[in-house]
Amino acid sequence: MRPEDAAPRADQTTRLVDYRAPDWLVEETRLNFDLQPTATRVTATLKVKRNGTGPADFRLDGHSMRLLSAAIDGRPVPAEAMIEGEESLTVSAAALPESARESGFEWTCVTEIDPSANTALEGLYMSSGMYCTQCEAEGFRKITFYPDRPDVMARFEVRIEGDAPVLLSNGNLVASGALRDGRRFAEWRDPWPKPSYLFALVAGDLVSHDDRFTTQSGREVALRIWVRPGDEDRCAYAMDALKRSMKWDEEVYGREYDLDLFQIVAVDDFNMGAMENKGLNIFNSKYVLASPETATDADYARIEAIIAHEYFHNWTGDRITCRDWFQLCLKEGLTVFRDQQFSADQRSAPVCRIADVATLRARQFREDSGPLAHPVRPEAYVEINNFYTATVYEKGAELIRMLRLLVGASSYRAALDLYFDRHDGEACTIEDWLRVFEDATGRDLSHFALWYSQAGTPRVSVKEDYDQGVYTLTLAQETKPTPGQREKRPLVIPCAYGFLDADGRNLGEDGLLVLDKAEQSFRFDLPERPVASLFRNFSAPAIVERRISPADRAILMGHDTDPFNRWEAARAFALSIAGELADGGGRIDPDWIAALRTTVTDESLDPAFRALVLALPGDDEIAGEIAAKGGVVDPDAIHHALDQMAETLAEATAPTLRELRAKMAVTGPYAPDAESAGRRSLANAALALLTHVDGGEAAEAAFSKADNMTDSLAALRALVHRGAPGAERALMDFRDRWRSDLLVMDKWLMVQATSPAPGALDRVKALAETDFNWRNPNRFRSLIAAFAAGNPVGFHAADGAGYRFFADWLIAMDDANPQTAARTAGAFETWRRYGERRQALIRTELERIMAKPGISKDMGEIVGRILE
């Protein structure tokens, strides 16, 4: 690809090809914070060293603050020697004192910032009365002027003065005490050099839930989870997950923690899930706080995964970081892969894999097939915050999974050992990452590297032939053009396979094929025609197109030794029925119902797995299939098709579903372990179906007797989404019980926002007009984003009212918080899938957003790319 093809908007674009090493490095950074809500003073003292030779301007990033003074080696820098750009401050090489030009100098500057006015939640801001920071990717430049790029790594010393009882930063606490006027101070030192994006500060009225961990080499680490008073009894699960993560990283990757203290803080206002600041992770409170009454099984699983993810970043992100933001997948793809491995080890590996693939298809395949498609390592961006995407994270993780499959588990571990040895303390690139694998295994990965630069999901078509003892498998690959990349080359695609005979028994050896050309045939001597199980465990992030008879599908569904492909066969069956029904034809094949019944009642199978088999495909999944085949998507028809399938299935299996519910009942007090969670998920999947035929009777009973949030919410959702007579009552009861718990109320908002029952938009509008704190990203996502992304029927209402409502909110949010607004706007990315009328209505809204005076860089880039 020519890099200029990828330019979203020529003027503001940052490009990978323009990367230059920094002219100046920072060895030590001393920060002094005098905290005041509207006027915080920051004094930064940097020990600066020339990187390279010859004269170079001293350029610092910075904006949204007041520069009060600046000095070099203690001497004030005259105003005329500094050039203040829109987002920078430069002291020209000529203005630097002679002695400083070659050997370096000490830079000091004092800035003033207003955390209370910072609604963008980047830099230093306030959340529920506490100070906190978010510096990834480029938030540090809103705190002080600094070379705010990940390849500048410094040792940080931080002194905080403020009214709050708790004052935290990275590393180890070296001093603290009282000052005059009730103020306090604390001094923190982080011995590990780090880029500015990993800096963190928290100050507030907090309490901690404490524990300890002894590392494999016998060092004691104090663990602290900081929360608001009253929340301390909801930290136990997060703490347990943290200790398990620390142990797992030692056992599986040989990685030990490297400070005396590891802290986590829960904050209410946060743009993302959490942040891996060195030694001081900051979390969205939604991913820390959990109790049986307030958190669902899914919440527990997310908390476990995110706690692990942030902890694992200590090595893959903090000790080894990214050279520049184009390399984001270096830390994110690897850390997602590591957290997926961890969850698989803690829970059921196949169930985790199925859930991960379902998410990948729903989010990343969708992204890869539309206007926002980009390579795992992008080559140009306007706003880097727009590239914290499913492609960088989830597809990035799939690339590492493929590498591991190709080289084998022990070579993978050897390569990772080499990575940590060779690059500890460095800021690296994808080239460094791949070279480690080449050096550790002797393989040439130059072709594999294409996965990092080529966008789009490859489609692999499968042809099979059996003749006189020879089975021939022909695989052909094609990747459709994506924005800025018309020409696509064949990728290296691993296909894990096995063969079954007509009775479902193993036939021949299992193995791994590697497709690395546009088309390849593979021959196998086999005594009978096999039922091939291909792309086992989803061995490559590809779309597989294969004609397969219902009989063969039933064999895979019932007997494959690969649980992923058993589920896949069931999903493919359901998808083909749904697609045909939505197209106005087809019928509900009784074989589908029979096969489902067999699987979900098979007691040798994990209930969580059976629940996944029982779940019908999502609206958007079907829409994606229709669009890929060139069809026009009609959200009402898809929804109707799914309703018909659920109803027919429920009618045919109601007694089985009731029996399943009874069998899956969990006795004793609630526990979030995978086994009990699996039983609840099967019972609740059955409940959702039953609500299609019993008028909500079972769900009402379940709602009133639920003693945990998983069951309570599942029953509420079943009632509301079916528009059952008991729905209003249940909604009121739920609200009355939980009105003071905002995280629980988010669930209540979301159930209503995603309801396909008539009147959802009016309801969402009314909810947005009550005491709805829309500036809080969790609230905004639970109501506004959930409606757009999770309510296809309401959002795509033929009169365009859903689009208008959503665009109004994007415009409002863009003024307050561009990052969250732009991320939410991605709900429009599939707009070209719909009919002309809907497209015209959406275009009007997108153009209205683009025309908004003062549109942010974030939103301008996303909407601009969607419209292109």
DSSP state of 394: I
Q: Which is nearer to ligand 0A1, 226 or 609 (CB)?
A: 226
Residue 2 CB-density burial (10 A; 0-12 exposed, 13-18 middle, 19+ buried)? exposed
| Positions in 280-309 near ligand 0A1 (CB under 6 A) | 309
Q: CB 276 → Zn ion: shortest distance, Å?
A: 6
| Positions in 372-411 near ligand 0A1 (CB under 6 A) | 385, 388
Residue 132's DSSP bridge partners are: 125, 202
Q: Which is nearer to Zn ion, 400 or 764 (CB)?
A: 400
Are 253 and 338 spatial neighbours (Cβ–Cβ below 8 Å)?
A: yes
Residue 294 CB-density burial (10 A; 0-12 exposed, 13-18 middle, 19+ buried)? middle
Q: Tell me the three state secondary structure of residue 304.
A: helix
Residue 26's DSSP bridge partners are: 48
CA distance linking residue 670 with residue 655, whole number of Å: 26
Q: CB 734 → ligand 0A1: shortest distance, Å?
A: 31
CA distance linking residue 274 with residue 270, whole number of Å: 8
Q: Is 245 in the site for ligand 0A1 (CB under 6 A)?
A: no
Tell me the backbone φ, ψ of residue 851, rounded to 5 degrees. -85, -5
In this structure, what token pair is assigned to residue 73?
Answer: 């080696």
137 contact choice in ligand 0A1, Zn ion, none (CB below 5 to 8 Å, kind-dependent): ligand 0A1
Are 365 and 543 spatial neighbours (Cβ–Cβ below 8 Å)?
A: yes
Whole-angstrom distance between the N-terminal and C-terminal Cα of the chain? Answer: 18
Pairing of strands 66-72, 511-515: unpaired
Q: CB 773 → ligand 0A1: shortest distance, Å?
A: 20
Contact partners, residue 453, CB within 8 Å, separation at least 6? 1, 375, 376, 377, 379
Q: Which is nearer to Zn ion, 195 or 624 (CB)?
A: 195
In this structure, what token pair is assigned to residue 740?
Answer: 């003071």
Stretch that binds ligand 0A1, among 13-21, 270-278, 355-363, 640-648 (CB under 6 A): 270-278
> Site for ligand 0A1 (CB under 6 A): which residue of 275, 289, 627, 825?
275
Q: Which is nearer to Zn ion, 284 or 599 (CB)?
A: 284
Q: CB 122 → ligand 0A1: shortest distance, Å?
A: 7
Q: Is 137 in the site for ligand 0A1 (CB under 6 A)?
A: yes
- Pick the closest to residue 296 from 577, 646, 714, 700 (CA basis): 714
In this structure, what token pair is assigned to residue 842?
Answer: 């959406």
In this structure, what token pair is assigned to residue 631?
Answer: 């069809």
Q: Is 148 in the site for ligand 0A1 (CB under 6 A)?
A: no
CA distance linking residue 272 with residue 386, whole number of Å: 12
Instruction: For the chain, give percent helix, strand, coil, nearest 5.
Output: 45, 20, 30
| Positions in 326-345 near ligand 0A1 (CB under 6 A) | 332
> Site for ligand 0A1 (CB under 6 A): which residue of 16, 130, 206, 272?
272
CA distance linking residue 676 with residue 680, whole number of Å: 6
Binding track over 310-339 against Zn ion, x by CB under 5 A: ----------------------x--x----
Q: Which is nearer to Zn ion, 139 or 794 (CB)?
A: 139
Minimal CB distance residue for ligand 0A1: 272
CA distance linking residue 596 with residue 574, whole number of Å: 10
Q: Which is nearer to ligand 0A1, 208 or 389 (CB)?
A: 389
614 contact choice in Zn ion, ligand 0A1, none (CB below 5 to 8 Å, kind-dependent): none
In this structure, what token pair is assigned to residue 545?
Answer: 């197109």
Q: Which is nearer to ligand 0A1, 309 or 610 (CB)?
A: 309
CA angle 419–423–424, rounded 5-degree value: 105
Stretch that binds ligand 0A1, among 265-273, 532-540, 759-767, 807-815 (CB under 6 A): 265-273
Instruction: State which amino acid sits at residue 52.
Output: G
Active site residue 310: yes
CA distance linking residue 123 with residue 120, whole number of Å: 9
> Site for ligand 0A1 (CB under 6 A): which residue of 40, 134, 277, 389?
134
Q: CB 413 → ligand 0A1: shortest distance, Å?
A: 23
Are 180 and 151 spatial neighbours (Cβ–Cβ below 8 Å)?
A: no
* Catalytic choice (122, 136, 157, 310): 310
Q: Which is nearer to ligand 0A1, 566 or 781 (CB)?
A: 781
> Site for ligand 0A1 (CB under 6 A): which residue of 40, 118, 144, 271?
271
Q: CB 119 → ligand 0A1: shortest distance, Å?
A: 15
Q: Which is nearer to ligand 0A1, 330 or 686 (CB)?
A: 330
134 contact choice in Zn ion, ligand 0A1, none (CB below 5 to 8 Å, kind-dependent): ligand 0A1
Q: CB 271 → ligand 0A1: shortest distance, Å?
A: 6
Q: Is 681 in the site for ligand 0A1 (CB under 6 A)?
A: no
Integer-rounded Cα Rg, in Å, for the chain is: 28
694 contact choice in Zn ion, ligand 0A1, none (CB below 5 to 8 Å, kind-dependent): none
Q: CB 437 → Zn ion: shortest distance, Å?
A: 21
Q: Which residues bind to ligand 0A1, rule: CB under 6 A?
A: 134, 136-137, 271-276, 309-310, 332, 385, 388
Q: Which residues are catalytic, by number?
A: 310
Which chain residues interact with Zn ion by CB under 5 A? 332, 335
